[in-house]
């Protein structure tokens, strides 16, 4: 039932209830919580599973499909890879002083990422998420003019080599990415994962023309201005999100950035206890 529930949301068919799941559940979180991935997914009544893939990955996608979950592969994006390879200072210098070289770097990386994606899909994975942290709480980290001239054309080429009509491909981005949502839609992404509330990524600020025609996933945030929220606050906010989004067929409930070490498992349980 979980797989069908997610497929309905992806196809903008109103599901029987809001599908739910996390963009990433880190191994460190599972270890600290002393719980297996299978047990946690069952306890949270998750409908999907997302697993990161790279050159070291060995994922039994068929296993997770047999458990009834919709399966997403999470692929590191070209901007993240640039920053991880060069460091922020040098990457910023490349972007400003040599944008052509920056584009070439991203293009070469996306060729590798295409192989990751193709292998996962061949092995039974059903959807893809490209993750690039392009923004902070107050807006984009990079001039949108640069993104439109050098970044989005490479993503468009990458998407053209994947069967996007039948393969759901979402973009994950932390922070305030409001200025580029239309760009992401225009080049072929099915939707957006993230929706960080304290970065203005709330329903009233999203493009009205895409609200019912795109996929939106996230909006739960475990941290507040004073640190981690308490269980009652998280339960209340999760219930409010489900009410607020109930008429949007493409909505998936989950946290903005996934489950990470030092996050108490009881807070996660409370947020999902709807």
Read off the pLDDT of residues 21-69 as tens digits, 9 standing for 90 and up: 999 999 999 999 999 999 999 999 999 999 999 878 889 999 999 999 9
Answer for the pair 99, 146: CB distance below 8 angstroms, yes or no. Answer: yes
The SS3 assignment for 182 reads helix
Question: For the whole prediction, is pTM greater than 0.85?
Answer: yes
The SS3 assignment for 131 reads strand
Tell me how far apart the alpha carbons of residues 219 and 60 are, in angstroms, rounded to a whole number. Answer: 29
Is residue 262 exposed (0-12), middle (13-18) or buried (19+ Cβ within 10 Å)?
exposed
Q: What percent of the chain clears pLDDT 70, i.e. is strictly above it?
A: 100
Residue 8, pLDDT score:
96
Residue 7, pLDDT score:
97
Is residue 85 exposed (0-12), middle (13-18) or buried (19+ Cβ within 10 Å)?
exposed
Q: What percent of the chain clears pLDDT 90, i.e. is strictly above it?
A: 92
pLDDT at 183 exceeding the cut of 90: yes
pLDDT at 274 exceeding the cut of 80: no
Domain 2-272 has CATH 3.20.20.210: yes
> Phi and psi for 83 in degrees, rounded to 5?
-65, -40
Structure tokens at 46: 């998750």
């Amino acid at each position: 039932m979980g797989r069908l529930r997610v497929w309905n949301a992806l196809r903008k068919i109103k599901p029987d209830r809001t599908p739910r799941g996390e963009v990433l559940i880190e191994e460190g979180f599972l270890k600290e919580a002393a719980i297996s991935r299978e047990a946690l997914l069952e306890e949270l009544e998750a409908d999907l599973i997302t697993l990161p893939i790279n050159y070291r990955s060995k994922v039994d996608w068929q296993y997770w499909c047999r458990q009834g979950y919709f399966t997403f592969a999470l692929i590191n994006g070209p901007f993240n890879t640039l920053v991880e390879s060069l460091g922020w200072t040098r990457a910023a210098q490349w972007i400003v002083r040599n944008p052509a070289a920056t584009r070439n770097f991203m293009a070469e990386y996306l060729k590798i990422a295409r192989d990751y994606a193709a292998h996962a899909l061949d092995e039974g994975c059903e959807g893809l998420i490209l993750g690039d942290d392009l923004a902070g709480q107050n807006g984009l980290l990079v001039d949108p003019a640069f993104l439109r001239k050098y970044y989005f054309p490479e993503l468009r080429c990458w998407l053209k080599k994947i069967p996007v009509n039948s393969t759901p491909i979402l973009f994950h981005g932390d922070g305030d990415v409001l200025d580029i949502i239309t760009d992401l839609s225009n080049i072929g992404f099915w939707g957006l994962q993230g929706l960080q509330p304290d970065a203005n990524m709330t329903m009233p600020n999203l493009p009205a023309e895409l609200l019912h025609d795109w996929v939106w996933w996230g909006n739960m945030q475990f941290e507040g201005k004073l640190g981690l929220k308490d269980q009652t606050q998280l339960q209340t906010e999760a219930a409010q999100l489900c009410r607020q989004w109930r008429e949007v067929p493409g909505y998936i409930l989950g946290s903005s950035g996934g489950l990470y070490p030092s996050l108490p498992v009881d807070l996660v349980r409370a947020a999902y206890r709807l």
